Amino acid sequence: MCRLQNIIRIALMLVILSGVSVAQTTMDRSVSMETIEKQSLQAKDEVWVLDFWASWCGPCIQSMPHLKDVYAKYKSQGVKFISLSHDRSADAWERTVVRLNMEWPQLLLSSDVDQTFVNKNFPHPYIPTLFVIDKKGKAEKVMQVHELEKYIQKAMAQ
């Protein structure tokens, strides 16, 4: 599946999750692998949380309620959440995103996506793994989802 197809699928899924009809919504292509590569480690006006996960990962699914709570608390404070899935099945990934009501941008790290940038800058030998990127573009690995708020607050204070 090409990158544009992934973006379109994600945009449509977000529309479905939001309850808005397609006719009322313009396609938002602002979050893509290119966006992550070009902007994640640059100075910006927001803090980013990158969540590496998969639908088949039990600990990932168990951590999702807490991640959703943190997202709800910080989404209006300039914190941008992006989840990147290691699923091999786009269908399983989409079903899980819908079932868990994951409202923030979702990307599938499929086999056609060059993961060199991700592997170099966000090494994660296991999932779930989170990274908080501060406004200066410095990334910190978060080992436990329950520590996420501490890292977000630190990044926001800088």
- Indicate yes or no: pTM above 0.75: yes
pLDDT at position 134 is 95
Q: Burial code of 112-143, b = ≥16 C-beta within 10 A, e = fewer?
A: ebeeebbeeebebeebbbbbbbbbeeebeebe
Range with lowest mean pLDDT among 9-13, 35-39, 76-80, 92-96: 9-13
Q: Is the pLDDT of residue 27 over 70?
A: no
pLDDT tens, residue by residue, 88-131: 999 999 999 999 999 999 988 877 667 788 888 898 989 999 99
Domain 32-157 sits in CATH at: 3.40.30.10
More confident site: 30 or 84: 84
